[in-house]
Structure 1
């Protein structure tokens, strides 16, 4: 009989535990790694682009820097305002480079998070963080992914963690901000990019043609609220 009572009590305890839930147990972690530049395998997730695809003369590279203190990614190159003579492309501007992630396997869901954080060491330039989402708001003739951008000023020489609320990312179309009421769908994120322009950015940031270099440790999603 005592054995039966013990078995019954054990069953009741298990049932009670299953029915007693804590809201915190259902919440996702407060942070989620999206990219971590700790090995050369990370390079396979990215591809480079620049104005050289359209007749410009800018160039960029992405490599892994190995050190005893931990590895990191180096996105660097040269920004040029010049255009190849006789180019068939009639570009109106040059002087840009970027690194864009290959599309995720399907998409990633960041609906539980409100901020993107990047750990960077830079050169005093202003960079552009871009999030690509599934095209759920169509513009006439637009078949590309929706893109959302925010400036990232990277102070020179010291590690810096930039925290960008998702609400600060503005909808863009081919690099230009769209003057429309649109809301990002963070549950259907397809990829990200980090880019730099020779001109533009926030006041006080270094600008103009010439070399650029930013070191990247990681990119995370944060839940701050």
Structure 2
């Protein structure tokens, strides 16, 4: 906690010195409104190692969003190089080593999604020099069972380090300047659910219509309220009934379907989202 507090003070000091913006504007990282943008990601499953899960990542046929869908299976082939199966993910492609997403100025990521009531995982992979080749930072990404579009706000402090699918017990802060790729995943096994999402400070609110101004474009207007670090009007706690139930992993069945319209960074590093007491 003391290290986190020191890093927060360091960010504030750099902002006061003019090295980083004090109040950065929301930045759209991905907007999946056309095939060219969707092609920047790809799907991956445990089938690569001998599992039997299936997943696809493509432009949705009926709206400007990417569709991540498929079936998670705990079955595996004989001789599979797996300790356990039942895993599907979609992740951004890494074009070149050293081509990072620099999130130092920001405190949260906002995912505009329409789901099936399952709690997915938001994934961030950092440069191997900063975190190790098998290390992925993960946070719960709840969705509504009725398929309504929501903006899920995930504080960067909510991401925990995992190694080969297991949470690293020692609490560390994600290297915000060395994020190589972003992704979403789902598992047939128990994992983080709505209760964990609420405890981590993850929250939901209704999303604006596709093509609307403000939050959808990463500019002012609708995104301004949520970038303050507090709960905006109409915001819903991710631990409520809107997330579709309790527990972790796939809640409804082995099949899943998640629509993802946009991912943006917002909030002020060193602000309320980064308060040491929220760790």
Q: Which residue does 2:36 correspond to in 1?
A: 41
- 1:46-99: CA deviations, max 9, x gaps? 1211111122111001111254xx511110001112122xx2225231111000
- 1:91-115: CA deviations, max 9, x gaps? 2311110001112551121100000
Q: Which has the larger radius of gyration?
A: 1
Q: Which residue does 2:264 correspond to in 1?
A: 220
Moved over 3 A (4+): 25-29, 135-138
Instruction: Specify the SS of the correspondent of 2:104.
Output: coil
Q: Is it true that 1:103 corresponds to 2:94 in the alignment?
A: yes
Q: Calculate the TM-score normalised by the size of structure 1.
A: 0.78
- The gaps in structure 2 that reach 5 residues or longer are 1-17, 195-244, 272-279
In the aligned structure 2, how far is the partner of 1:32 from the partner of 1:66?
Answer: 26
Q: In 2 relative to 1, CA 160–26 (structure 1 residues): closer, same or farther, beyond 3 Å?
A: closer
For 1:62, which of 57, 61, 64 is the aligned residue? 57
Q: Which residue does 1:20 correspond to in 2?
A: none
Count of residue pairs the alignment pairs up: 194
**Deviation at 1:209?**
4.8
**Deviation at 1:207?**
2.2
- The gaps in structure 1 that reach 5 residues or longer are 1-22
Report if aligned partners of 2:24, 2:106 keep a CA contact under 8 Å in 1: no
Q: Is it true that 1:91 corresponds to 2:82 in the alignment?
A: yes
Q: Which residue does 1:118 correspond to in 2?
A: 111
Q: Is it true that 1:73 corresponds to 2:62 in the alignment?
A: no
Q: Which moved more, 1:75-84 or 1:203-212?
A: 203-212
Q: Calculate the TM-score normalised by the size of structure 2.
A: 0.64
Report if aligned partners of 1:132, 1:147 keep a CA contact under 8 Å in 2: yes
Instruction: Specify the SS of the correspondent of 2:47.
Output: helix
- 1:140-162: CA deviations, max 9, x gaps? xxx41642111111112100111
**Deviation at 1:26?**
5.0
Q: Is it true that 1:211 corresponds to 2:270 in the alignment?
A: no
Instruction: Specify the SS of the correspondent of 2:39.
Output: helix
In the aligned structure 1, how far is the partner of 2:130 from the partner of 2:103?
Answer: 18
